[in-house]
Copies of this chain bind each other. A is one copy, B any other.
Amino acid sequence: MEIETLRHSISHVLAAAVKELYPTVKFGIGPAIEDGFYYDFQFLSPISDSDLPKIQKKMVEIIKRNDKFIHEIVTKEKAKAIFKDQKYKLELISDLAKEDQKISIYHLGNFTDLCKGPHIKSASEIPNGCFQLIKLAGAYWKGSEQNAMLTRIYGIAMESKTALDKYQKQLEEAKRRDHRILGEKLELYLIDDEVGAGLPIWMPKGEALIKAIERYLYEELRKAGYKWLKSPHIANIQLWKTSGHWGFYRENMYSPIQVDEEQYMIKPMNCPFHIKVYNKKIRSYKELPIKYAELGTVYRYEKSGVLHGLNRVRGFTQDDAHIYCTPEQLEKELLSTLKLGIKMLKDFGFKNYDIYLSTKPEDKHVGSDEIWVKATKALESALKALKLKYSVDVGGGAFYGPKIDIKIKDSIGRPWQCTTIQADFNLPDRFKMEYIDKNGQRQEPIMIHRALLGSIERFVGVLIEHYAGAFPLWLAPEQMWVLPISKANNKYAKEVFEELNNNGFRVELKDEDETIGKKIREAEIQKIPYMIVLGDKETKSKKISARDRNTKKTSTLSLKSFIKNSKELIDNKK
A207-B236 in contact (CB<8A): no
When C-beta atoms are compared, the residue in chain B nearest to A304 turns out to be B260
Interface flag for A273 (CB, 8 Å): yes
B residues in contact with A506, CB < 8 Å: 222
* A94-102, A189-197, A548-556 - interface stretch: A189-197
CB distance from A385 to the nearest CB of B (A): 22
Shortest Cβ gap from A472 to chain B (Å): 20
B257→A196 contact, CB < 8 A: no
Beyond A195-B276, A196-B236, A254-B257, 14 additional pairs, beta carbon < 8 A = A187-B280, A193-B236, A195-B231, A201-B276, A204-B277, A207-B227, A211-B228, A223-B501, A232-B297, A254-B259, A254-B264, A257-B266, A260-B303, A286-B512
Instruction: Tell me the A199-234 residues at the B interface (CB within 8 Å).
Output: 199-204, 206-208, 210-211, 218-219, 222-223, 227-234
Query: How many angstroms between the C-alpha atoms of A258 and B257 in the bound complex?
Result: 9
Q: Which residues of chain A from 285 to 307 have any CB-CB distance to chain B below 8 Å in the complex? A: 286, 292, 297, 299, 301, 303-304
Q: Is the interface of A mostly helix, strand, loop or mixed?
A: mixed
Closest chain-B Cβ to A565's Cβ sits at a distance in Å of: 21
With CB as the reference atom, state the residue of chain B lying closest to A226. Answer: B204
Q: Is the CB of A239 within 8 A of B501?
A: no
Cβ of A315 under 8 Å from chain B: yes
Cross-chain contact of A229 among B201, B222, B315 (Cβ < 8 A): B201
- A207 contacts B228, C-beta separation under 8 Å: yes
Select one of B207, B277, B286, B314 contacting A190, CB under 8 A: B277
Residues of B within 8 A of A195 (CB): 231-232, 235-236, 239, 272-273, 276
Residues of A in contact with B, size category: 35 or more
**Cross-chain contact A194 with B229 (CB below 8 angstroms):** no
CB nearest to A240 among chain B residues: B194
Report the separation of the CA atoms of residues A204 and B238 in the bound assembly, to the nearest whole angstrom. 24
Whether, in the assembled complex, A502 has its beta carbon less than 8 Å from a beta carbon of chain B, the answer is: yes
* In the assembled complex, A504 has its CB within 8 A of some CB on chain B: yes
A223 x B502 contact (CB < 8 A)? yes
**B-contacting residues, A476-518, CB 8 Å:** 501-502, 504, 506, 512
A372 to B258, CA, bound (A): 40
Partner pick for A277 among B203, B223, B229, CB 8 A cutoff: B203
Smallest CB separation, A216 vs chain B (Å)? 13
A-B contact pairs, 16 of them (CB 8 A): A190-B277, A194-B242, A199-B235, A201-B230, A201-B273, A207-B227, A208-B228, A222-B501, A223-B501, A233-B299, A233-B315, A254-B258, A257-B257, A260-B304, A266-B266, A286-B512
B residues near A204, Cβ cutoff 8 Å = 227-229, 277, 292
A255 at the interface (CB under 8 A from B): yes
Within 8 Å CB of A299, what residues of B?
233-234
Decide if A232 touches B199 in the complex (CB within 8 Å).
yes
Contact mask for chain A residues 266-282; partner B; CB cutoff 8 A; 1 contact, 0 none: 10000011001100100
Interface contact A207-B192, CB-CB below 8 Å = no
B-chain residues with CB within 8 Å of residue A280 when the two chains form the complex: 187, 190, 203
What chain B residues lie within 8 Å of A262 (beta carbons)?
196
Residues from chain B with a CB closer than 8 A to the CB of A277 are 190, 201, 203-204
